[in-house]
Amino acid sequence: MYLISKRATDLFISILALIILSPLIFIVSILIKLDDRTAPILFKQLRVGKDGTEFYMYKYRSMVLNAEDLKEQLIELSDVKGPVFKMKDDPRITKIGKFIRKTSIDELPQIINVIKGEMSLVGPRPPLPSEVACYTTYELQRLSVTPGLTCYWQVNGRNSIEFHDWVELDLKYIRERNYMVDLILIFKTVFVLFGSKNAF
């Protein structure tokens, strides 16, 4: 019953969010296109979901077009230890990109992934295949549930948290998850993400 109610909530909130946020979606899309008319508005990236299933996750494009190629030159400058790359002053980020990342507006297109069933509103963030390749057996437990837009990591420090602690928070969610926990995390996320100093 939990999984059925979780899926129903995912669909209801996602569709409602698309309707309510449609003016914002339209404005942000125009701003991104004006920033670089030759580049696409959306950025899709291969991610790993439940049980290792790969899918394309959508985001608003917040970086220059060749960002993935430039990543190799910056990999050693990551602000987070472990098999993840997070950089606070990433030179690949565009002007509009800084704003939409700071406010987490860049994550809005993932509502599409939620509607498709590839993601849920609440669950561990979906990792890159290159990150999963470096996971230990213990860390692979993160992939035992459907990934999500938000989880304990998002509301407890986000990018200021080291990867080991990030994994522990995800496993805590997997052990404790229920409908009420999901609702509380969704509620907290609304207040934490917009303008979070740890969003980059």
pLDDT digits (tens, 9 = 90+) for 144-164: 999 999 999 888 866 667 888
Nearest alpha-carbon partner for 151 in 165, 140, 133: 165
* pTM value > 0.75: yes
Render pLDDT for 120-142 as a digit per residue (tens, 0 to 9).
999 999 999 999 999 999 999 99
> Amino acid identity of 160?
S
Model confidence at 79: pLDDT above 90: no
Q: Which residue has the tokens 């909530």?
A: 9
Distance CA 182, CA 111 (A): 16
Q: What is the pLDDT of residue 38?
A: 82
Task: Report the pLDDT value the prediction gives residue 108, as an integer from 0 to 100.
Answer: 93
Query: The tokens 């790969």 sit on which residue?
Result: 54
User: Helix, strand, or coil here: 3?
Assistant: helix
End-to-end CA distance of the chain: 36
DSSP lists the bridge partners of residue 56 as: 46
For all residues of the chain together, what is the average pLDDT? 87
DSSP assignment of 47-107: EE-GGG-EEEEEEE--B-TTHHHHHHHHGGG-SS-SS----TT-TTB-HHHHHHHHTTGGG
| Residue 198, pLDDT above cutoff 60 | no
Answer whether 114's CB lies under 8 Å from 14's CB: yes
What pLDDT does residue 200 have? Answer: 46
